[in-house]
Structure 1
Amino acid sequence: MDFSQEEENNNVSLIKFESMLKTNNVLFFDSNEFENIIHHYLNQGKVALAKKAIKLGLEQHPSSTNLKLFKVEIFVFENELAKANSLLNELYVLEPSNEEIYIQKANILSKEDKHEEAIDILNRALDLADDTSDLHSLIGMEYLFLDKFDMARDSFMRCLEANPDDYASLYNIIYCFDFLDKNNEAIEYLNIYLDKNPYCEVAWHQLGRQYFELKDYEKALSAYDFAIISDDTFIGAYLEKGKVLEKLKMYNEAIENYSITLSLEDPTSFALLRIGNCHEKLGNNDLAVHYYYKTVHEDPLLDKGWIAITKFYCKNKNYQKALYYINKAINIDGENVLYWKYYAKINHRLNFLEEAERGYKRALELGNYELETWLIRADILTQLGEPEAATFNLIQATEFYPENAEIEFRLAGLNFTLLEFEKATFHLKNAMRFDAEQVIILEELFPEVFESLLAKKIINL
């Protein structure tokens, strides 16, 4: 029976089954028909209909192992593992050489985080199976759960040997190589695979990725070209080729490749963003901002689009517009340190000190402990007339930078201002000991303190 004929028969069975459900007339189906109907509903995620089909199927074919295995699948899906196990044990007694029983048993063990036991069961099923590729794939997945990437890779390799067109296994093999930081071994493996499968665009694409990781951009470019020769509609290859061309500063050629993807399918925000970036590098500012706007129009939730526009306006010193767009980025991803740093710097440029301080404070809360962040926040708090808050901020900074003159000179100045002369003296002496040349900080930020007799005495010691 050819595929279309089989598909047509399945459709007829489905129509007949759904008509039976509406009329309550019980019609007869052979067990294969029931299996196809159940399989269809499970693929569609229609579990309730699949359960009805299993129930009616078992009423008409009470001894069908395959229908009972579907019942096991539903039990596992609904996390009724005890019921699933009990039914599997019954089936095992009846058909101890049915590999599907072992697969479902392994599935249950996997759900219970008993991955080693699941692997043992699947290895037993290997002895019974004619086609072992799916079993090797399942074993590979169990090894991934155990973080045994070498073993997982070897299982997926066996799977690919049995079925060279199984691209999911190919991806998993490369994933394992990547995780193990074995780019050269991955390249060697892909080249052997490509000797036997020279028109496999997926393998060429993966080979390009490996060369890109090793910064061998010429070879990466060549691999992506072969991927495109193998399939000239392969969008991933054009995108990756564009990234390589950007690295080689060949921006016009990169734009050309990104543009091809726009003609192959609906525009992707990634391609539009990269085109904008290339135009910016080429100094085509109007085109750059045009593509950035197209990016956020295509995907308003892409914070990278909003940040690209923010950076563009920052570079062109249009801080009012930059502020508008950084707020858009923060509304999408309020946990991004980089965005808060931009928010703080832009507000600082516009002399909105309270907002700038809020930005630096948020960056610190999110774990950005760069020295610059602590220092600028302290200086802004000082400008805002909050010396206590500035002091507390710098005391926190000393936990990360314990012997830093820039911090100590500021603490000295602030404590003089607060009339805490003992503390001021302590910090000023520390500062002079750590790096006396930085005394200019005191002169610039606290000129009155710098000119005071007490400070002069310590500085001239």
Structure 2
Amino acid sequence: MSKKTKADLMISKLIQEFEHVNSNRTRIQWEEKALLKLINHYERINNFEKALEVIDFALLTFTVKSEFYLHKAQILIALQKPLAAIDILEQALKNNPQDSNLILYKAKAFCTMGEFATALNLIEDIKRSQHKADDVEILLVEAFIQESMKDYDQMFYKLQEALKLNPNNTEALEQIWISVEISKKFEESIRLHKELIDNNPYSYLAWYNLGHAYSCLGMYQQALEALDYSYLINPHFEQACMDCAELALQENLFEKALEYFTEASERFGEDSDLSVNIVECLIKLKRFKEAKSKLHKAITQDPYNDELFYYLGECYSEEKNWTKAIKYYKESLEIDPEREEFHFGIAKVFEMTGNLRKAEFHYRRASYCGQEQSQYWARYISFLIKNNLPEKAQKALLKSDKVSTGADLLYCKAAFHYLQGDEKKTISILEEALVDDFPQRHIFEELAPEFATGQLYTSMLKYFIAEIQ
């Protein structure tokens, strides 16, 4: 029998015994350890009502045990009842006036009330009276107070100090990323977590935090390696697995992303959102048959997930089965008519099948639904230019200028001015676009092929290629 099964059986037995004793109001002597196991169990599953019931029962017998008072105070603070927590802590302090943990929780309670000065004064009292300036628990509470005060720099430094004293402190490792993300101390976080890993190469949380710091600095390969180590060390760490998958997908490492998403599905259980992730990878890998099979199965379990229908539309579109593609795009739009990618998908199919009126409608809707994203405007404007609708193209360009920016829009604008006969403006805008994003020049070349094959454009390209090199 596994350790987990034994533990589960033990907890079940304790629950039954406690319920029997409590319901019959039987007075029997319980061991302190057994009651603490019950309390920890109820806290772990967030059943605070039952946890408080066990604590109150325990306090009838163990009237001077600080641990039960601490558990009760912790729950009351979590339930946003700081005054009740302070009251229970003051009762406990009558029996144990020098118990620093009781005072620390009292500081946390005052902190949750916004009484930051009182909370910090209690911390200073402990430091002076008990000579504990470098105590990890004190530093953790100080970090909690700094977080509540929104001083994330100081929160980071307190947690860093705590980790230098105890590199394996789980609470500090779990909390420090909040301070890093908001204070932008990514370089400092990398240095700290590398040091922690040197001391303990198997600290999965240190690897996890390191990965996120790398990711925020755009160092995606290093980030993926660090997150991968985190998951390898602790294969039960679901978030690390999902973060690996999402980062791999972001970096177009579709095989690797598929591997992680599949692992997450098998180990932690599949849902429709995870099915969507897996399908997205399969489509990128052009494994349409597998993708469709998975989507049809997922739809039977979650018939209101718009993305499942959208990706079916994508599959059939890739296979040039226009009728089915339109069918499933329409179903996705029936569930959510404001999703820009759904309009964009169906617009492309209508354009391919020659239904230009509907294509124009959905390209416009995609642009307005995702108005901050330049790619939708660029495709809409390109469509209007190609179909000789200059007035509409001009209006779309003016609208896009107010809500979005991007080199793709500059290329569209350059092409528009060229076709209107304004070569001077064309060159000026084109120079800006080439500096911003040289590879996207194909947008202009498709819209203005005559200019793109001329000597002037060729000379411009040679100049920019020389500059890049």
Short-chain TM bin: 0.5 to 0.7
In the alignment, what sits opposite 2:19?
18
Give 3-state SS (helix, strand or coil) of 1:164's partner: coil
User: In structure 1, what is the Cα distance between the partners aligned to 2:5 and 2:199?
Assistant: 31
In the alignment, what sits opposite 2:161?
158
- What is the one-letter code of the residue matched to 2:203? C
In the alignment, what sits opposite 2:313?
310
In the alignment, what sits opposite 1:113?
114
- What is the one-letter code of the residue matched to 2:159? F
User: In structure 1, what is the Cα distance between the partners aligned to 2:198 and 2:192?
Assistant: 10
- What is the one-letter code of the residue matched to 1:103? L
Q: How far apart are residue 229 of structure 1 and its match?
A: 6.0
User: Structure 1 residues 324, 143: CA separation in 2 closer, same or farther (over 3 Å shift)?
Assistant: farther
Tell me if 1:193 matches 2:196.
yes
In the alignment, what sits opposite 2:141?
138
Q: Is the 8 A contact 1:239 1:258 kept in 2?
A: yes
In the alignment, what sits opposite 2:173?
170
- What is the one-letter code of the residue matched to 1:133? V
- What is the one-letter code of the residue matched to 1:96? P
Larger radius of gyration: 1
- What is the one-letter code of the residue matched to 2:100? E
Tell me if 1:103 matches 2:104.
yes
Give 3-state SS (helix, strand or coil) of 1:97's partner: coil
Q: Percent identity?
A: 18
Q: Is the 8 A contact 1:41 1:47 kept in 2?
A: yes
In the alignment, what sits opposite 2:450?
none
User: Structure 1 residues 323, 439: CA separation in 2 closer, same or farther (over 3 Å shift)?
Assistant: farther
The superposition leaves residues 223-264 of structure 1 with CA deviations (integer Å, 9 ceiling, x where unpaired) of: 456556645776666666666666776655665565555555
Q: How far apart are residue 96 of structure 1 and its match?
A: 3.1
User: In structure 1, what is the Cα distance between the partners aligned to 2:78 and 2:207?
Assistant: 37
User: In structure 1, what is the Cα distance between the partners aligned to 2:59 and 2:227?
Assistant: 52
Alignment of 1:387-426 (within 5 A): 397=399, 400=402
In the alignment, what sits opposite 2:324?
321
User: In structure 2, what is the Cα distance between the partners aligned to 1:96 and 1:21?
Assistant: 32
Q: Is the 8 A contact 1:76 1:84 kept in 2?
A: yes
Alignment of 1:323-362 (within 5 A): 323-330=326-333, 336-342=339-345, 351=355, 357=361, 360=364
User: Structure 1 residues 257, 37: CA separation in 2 closer, same or farther (over 3 Å shift)?
Assistant: closer
User: In structure 1, what is the Cα distance between the partners aligned to 2:170 and 2:160?
Assistant: 11
Q: Is the 8 A contact 1:75 1:84 kept in 2?
A: yes
User: In structure 2, what is the Cα distance between the partners aligned to 1:7 and 1:279?
Assistant: 39
User: In structure 1, what is the Cα distance between the partners aligned to 2:369 and 2:220?
Assistant: 39
User: In structure 1, what is the Cα distance between the partners aligned to 2:77 and 2:102?
Assistant: 13
Q: Is the 8 A contact 1:267 1:298 kept in 2?
A: no
Q: How far apart are residue 118 of structure 1 and its match?
A: 3.4
How many residue pairs end up in the alignment?
Answer: 395
- What is the one-letter code of the residue matched to 2:139? H
The superposition leaves residues 351-408 of structure 1 with CA deviations (integer Å, 9 ceiling, x where unpaired) of: 596897589569647865979769979x99xxxxxxxxx9xx99x959949xxxxxxx
User: In structure 2, what is the Cα distance between the partners aligned to 1:332 and 1:322?
Assistant: 16
Alignment of 1:65-84 (within 5 A): 66-69=67-70, 72-73=73-74, 75-76=76-77, 79-84=80-85
Give 3-state SS (helix, strand or coil) of 1:17's partner: helix
User: In structure 2, what is the Cα distance between the partners aligned to 1:20 and 1:341?
Assistant: 64
Give 3-state SS (helix, strand or coil) of 1:113's partner: coil
Structure 1 unaligned runs (5+)?
381-389, 402-433, 441-461
TM-score (norm 1): 0.62
User: In structure 2, what is the Cα distance between the partners aligned to 1:26 and 1:320?
Assistant: 74
User: In structure 2, what is the Cα distance between the partners aligned to 1:376 and 1:359?
Assistant: 5
In the alignment, what sits opposite 1:431?
none
Q: Is the 8 A contact 2:363 2:376 kept in 1?
A: no
Alignment of 1:376-395 (within 5 A): none
Q: Which moved more, 1:323-332 or 1:187-196?
A: 323-332
User: Structure 1 residues 7, 120: CA separation in 2 closer, same or farther (over 3 Å shift)?
Assistant: farther
User: In structure 1, what is the Cα distance between the partners aligned to 2:236 and 2:74?
Assistant: 38
User: Structure 1 residues 284, 67: CA separation in 2 closer, same or farther (over 3 Å shift)?
Assistant: closer
User: In structure 1, what is the Cα distance between the partners aligned to 2:22 and 2:248?
Assistant: 59
- What is the one-letter code of the residue matched to 2:22? L
Q: Which moved more, 1:294-303 or 1:313-322?
A: 294-303
